[in-house]
Amino acid sequence: MRFVHTMVRVKDLDASLDFYCNKFGLIEMRRKDFEAGRFTLVFLAAPKDQDRSRAEAAPELELTYNWDPEDYDFGRNFGHLAYKVDDIYASCQALIDSGVTINRPPRDGRMAFIKSPDNISIELIQEGDALSLCEPWTSMENIGTW
């Protein structure tokens, strides 16, 4: 397992980039607009992490800007932690076997979400290409939120 990114939702992307880049010293590595979902993702890295960020897309801070205004209460502005795993299915099965609920199963062979005891969402991402789709994962329903 390796750490990938932490996601934070931001209300004002320009003000956030001014803070994180111009004042705090992080560097914008890449950004992607998702028109259908009406949001923008911007990935930032610390100066000494730029090479790793380019090579591995980690470790990074992900700023998520939702185009439609939203008040972030109850900590919703903090999104999730993200870790890459060698085998998403084996990792999820081991978590289930240890009593952890898989809130968003890896139906796509690539991504799953769980929650910590403190209700922090944790994203599991398949290292490399997505695994072939298989049961029971493809038929599993979401549970709760993530």
For 48, the token pair is 């000494």
For 94, the token pair is 């081991």
Burial class from Cβ neighbours inside 10 Å (0-12, 13-18, 19+) for residue 63 reads buried
Name residue, tokens 């730029």.
50
Alpha carbons 70 and 66: distance in angstroms, whole number: 8
| 70 catalytically annotated | no
User: Among residues 123, 127, 135, 141, which one is catalytic?
Assistant: 123
| Residues belonging to the active site | 123
